[in-house]
Structure 1
Amino acid sequence: MALITIRNLAVTLGAPLFSQLDLAVSPGDRIGIVAANGRGKSTLLRCVAGMLEPMTGDITRSRGLRIGYVEQIIPQALSETPFHEAVRQALPDDQAETEAWRVDVILDSLDVPPALRQLPIAKLSGGWQRLALLACVSVTDPDVLLLDEPTNHLDLGKILGLEAWLGSLPRDIPVLISSHDRAFLDATTNRTLFLRAERSRLFSLPYSLARNALDEIDASDERRYQKDMKAAQQLRRQAAKLNNIGINSGSDLLTVKTKQMRQRAERLEEAARPGFQERSSGAIRLASRGTHAKVLVTLDDTPVETPDGRLLFKTGKRWICQGDRIVLLGRNGAGKSRLIHLIRTAITEPDRCAATIKPTPSLALGYSDQALAGLADRETPLATIIRRFDVGDQRARTLLAGAGLGIDLQSRPIGILSGGQKSRLAMLVLRLTNPNFYLLDEPTNHLDIEGQEALESELMVQQTSCLVVSHDRSFVRAVGNRFWLIENRHLVEVDDPGDFFASARES
């Protein structure tokens, strides 16, 4: 029996997000919700949670159903509240005193270190803030759990821990998950909803299998669309010929026949509209200028240290060569971002460069950090492009529109853009920099699946040379042709990331 039934649901915000959506949520369902940035995933979850009224349609919930909704953003009221106290406050009033022990049970199940439990939520890392929201909701024992981008800001260890935690929930508790993490969806879901403006698709399959099925349907729709459009064009050509004959002969009958044929063509074209051709979130394009150097960066047993001088690891003798797409693997805090920082400094500020890092003089660097710190919150996207690059106002606007930032967004402060919009702006900046070597620290943060796949394709098509840090397992496997692992204070090369992923799951 369905716990939640959705019938003919529709929401329009400027443009239709989804329409005529039907969905039944039953015990045991683990439903992945997939759509591009800004295409209605959070809106749908808010509708299911009862926080937003849809424009049309109905949502029926079982009597007394408790829905737990884990949002993306920490409520301001919780920012100064200690972790443990925030979870305790989430308990109903009649349980706060007698069942406070449940707080420690849920924090233990999420492997929250004791030292973090007394810190204010605002002092926690982004990953722990996400888990704090999850703890506040799950301690209330909801009958249905809604998760909005639960892996955002989580490192690989925490993502795998979250997968295990979801797997340990009672099997009859339905979970709806909005996520762009393909591997996470494969590990945690058994149904997949592809949310679309006109015709959403639901499959009783995890993401990758569902995506294959969707691609087959879309390909079939595309073939049918092309066939119908060809037939409509033939009707229009025949109508034009008939119209000329009718004019020359003065036949009213031929004029009527001409009108009927044109109407048939219009109906065929309207019915043939391919619902799978969704509006893009914006194109991602990269560039790669040439270099004759075969070896781009040489590491000569470079020590990688914390800011206070504690040794994290040594690199040994390593080379980054033209065409290498190296993925840097290691546990959180192992020093991945520190090595990225050292190489970046060696390229951009050679006077401050350690003697053990030798970049070739012809390097042109493209750099993106996980916080997108290179984008100023108070500056507008338009001002950013015009200030950094020799392009005029009109060209800058065209480039921004192609990246998914329409006229209405181009003159707004970057700080109010969504994470996905900021990421696409950062990718545009990288492209216009026209580098021949990329340093990318968590480049898929906030990118939807369409954006991730576009970035993967560009890195390979452009034959870029890059050093990448990423916790996205699908992205790592798709992009990397070499893998460096930080292990036991040394940097070692491995053939495949699989063993590292397995060890992260077991720890």
Structure 2
Amino acid sequence: MSLLSVSDLALTLAEPLFSDLDFTIHPGDRVGLVAANGRGKSSLLRVLAGFSEPTHGRVVLARDAKVALVEQDPPASLRFLPLREAVLLGLPEESRDYEGWRVDIALDDLLVPHDLRDRPMEALSGGWQRSALLARAAVAEPDIYLLDEPTNHLDLSRIGVLTRWLGALPRAVAVLTVSHDRAFLDASTTHTLFLRQSRSRIFALPYSPARAALDAADAADARVFDNQMKEAQQLRRQAAKLKNIGINSGSDLLTVKTRQLTDRADKIEAGARPGHRDRSAGAIRLEGSASHARALLTFEDAQILAPDGRLLFRTGPKWIVPGDRVVLLGQNGAGKSRMMATVRAALGGADGAIRAAASARVGIADQDLGQIDPDRSPHSQLSERFDLGDQALRGALAGAGIAIDRQTAPARRLSGGQRARLAMLILRLEQPNLYLLDEPTNHLDIEGQEALEAEIATDAAAALIISHDRAFVRAVGTRFWRIAGRQLVEVESPEGFFREAEEGGG
């Protein structure tokens, strides 16, 4: 028995997003939905939830099955409501008086602190808003959850809570999750759907083995296509030879045979399907400037303070040299962002305990993309800062995945992924040799994450990195500093911290 089936589904908005999409979700399935930015993942969820109509095809829901869509941001109607009241609205109006107890059960399951439950939604962090939206869906006891980027704004501890919560759902409940968090997908899914403009594929595997299976399938398709093209070319060569002989001899039989060979070649070429090549959402390339400084950044037992002046921790003597990619580990509230802010302030001469080499060229990317003015166009922001010339500038923006019509429009019209790629483009053009990266993979799709990893891993520059993305940390980190109590200590590996954080003790 299936809970939801999709057949021949297609969706076109400004451009074709996907077509010929077929898949089925059964009770208990945990499906990860993976695609590059702008490929229609969120739009597909809205179609499956019945909020949007497809361009073509059908979505069939099992009789009486309930679907809950948990979007990335709370609707405007919930902004000023207390958290608990927003969750209560997930129940049918007629049952809120006598089933309101479900709200606190759902919030307890998601470990939402009691002191947050009466706060307005707009006063909560993005992570707690996500938890409220999950609880709002859970009180209605749906048969299928559709989750859109559920780990955004969550630290590792909260990702651990979410993973355990999903694992504790009733066995008959299905979940379809859109996410770019590879480690989360591996831990929480049993199937992976790779959404493509055409020829989407689904595998009964979590993300990492499914990705390997996808690459193998694409390679097999490419080999089949190459063989078909070679066969068609061989037939055309034979036809050309027979045609010349037939013309010289006047043989009608050879003329018929020539036509038959040509027709066979036409059919083979018409039916051949090239191996899949995803349209890139834009290149991620970083170009660091060289530095011969022994240490680009030096810490002389600096104090990292809270905004109210409280001591959070001391760094002890530390240094970062060219090629170091230092990942800062610590639970939320331990002081990671305060350390990054202290380093940024010190680069302006505000703290003698933190010193940058004279040759250090610093590039900064923060998680809120604060280096981008949302009211100004990408073109105007880059032309003001970099002397590239109009044609080169437009080419750089296009290479970062920003189409011509978006280059002169306000940056707020860009998707989160496009803004993240714009931020990476700004970094590249600054040519730093010391990167300060605060959650750089936020908003980047998996393609963008992997490209950024490759660039950072091959760059001779240094980096101080804050990230909750375990796959990213494992791929790029060469050194790991952990905030332990009131000290910053160097550890061999991030794995111990990951385990503790996922268990709630990070």
Could you state the TM-score of these two structures normalised by the residue count of structure 1?
Answer: 0.94
What pairs up with 1:137-156 in 2 under 5 angstroms? Answer: 137-156=137-156
Q: Tell me how far apart the structure 1 counterparts of residues 390 and 240 of structure 2 sit (CA, whole Å).
A: 44
Rounded to whole Å, the distance in 2 between the matches of 1:286 and 1:337 is 23
| Equivalent runs, 1:19-418 vs 2, <5 Å | 19-233=19-233, 265=265, 267-347=267-347, 349=348, 352-418=349-415
Instruction: Between 309-318 and 214-223, report the one with greater CA deviation.
Output: 214-223
Distance in 1, Cα, partners of 2:440 & 2:246: 63
2:487 pairs with 1:490: yes
Q: Is the 8 A contact 2:159 2:502 kept in 1?
A: no
Contact 1:199 1:275 in 2 (8 A): no
Distance 2:83 2:272 in 1: 54
Per-residue deviation, 1:135: 1.3
Q: Cα distance, 1:278 vs. partner?
A: 1.7
Report the CA distance shift for 1:414/1:241 in structure 2 as closer, same or farther (over 3 A). farther
Change (3 A) 1:243 1:80: farther
Q: Paired residue for 2:448?
A: 451
What are structure 2's unaligned runs of at least 5 residues?
none
Q: Which residue of 1 aligns with 2:436?
A: 439
CA distance in 1, matches of 2:383, 2:246: 58
The corresponding residue for 1:460 is 457
The one-letter code sitting in structure 2 at the alignment partner of 1:458 is E
Match of 1:469 in 2: 466
CA contact (8 A) 1:287 1:431 kept: yes
**Match of 1:288, SS?**
coil
5+ long unaligned stretches in structure 1: none
Deviation per residue, 1:293-346 (Å, 9 max, x gap): 121111010100112211111000101011111111100111111111222233
Q: CA deviation at 1:232?
A: 4.5
Task: Indicate if the aligned counterparts of 1:148 and 1:179 stay in contact, CA closer than 8 A.
Answer: yes
Cα distance change, pair 342–267 in 1 and its aligned pair in 2 (3 A): farther
Q: Is the contact made by 2:283 and 2:401 (CA closer than 8 Å) also made in structure 1? A: yes
CA contact (8 A) 1:7 1:22 kept: yes
CA shift in 2, pair 1:270/1:364, >3 Å? farther
Residue 420 of structure 1: SS of its match in structure 2? Answer: helix
Q: Is the 8 A contact 2:290 2:461 kept in 1?
A: no
Shift of 1:246: 8.4
In structure 1, C-alpha distance between the alignment counterparts of 2:357 and 2:240, rounded to whole Å:
65
Q: Distance in 1 between matches of 2:258 and 2:13?
A: 40
The count of aligned residue pairs is 504
| Alpha-carbon distance change, 85 to 292 in structure 1, aligned in 2, over 3 angstroms | same
Q: Tell me by how many angstroms 1:187 deviates.
A: 0.9
Please give the alpha-carbon distance, in whole angstroms, between the structure 1 residues aligned to 2:53 and 2:175: 21
Equivalent pair of 2:323/2:459 in contact (CA under 8 Å): no
- C-alpha distance after superposition, 1:380-426 (max 9, x if no partner): 11112211111111111111111111112111111121110100111
TM-superposed CA distance for 1:245, in Å, is 8.2
Q: Report SS of the residue matched to 2:89.
A: helix
| Identity in percent | 56
99 and 262 in structure 1: CA distance in 2 versus 1, 3 angstrom threshold: same
Deviation, 1:102, is: 1.3
CA RMSD of aligned residues (A): 2.2
- TM-score by length of structure 2 reads 0.94
Amino acid at match of 2:422: L
Distance 1:257 1:291 in 2: 70
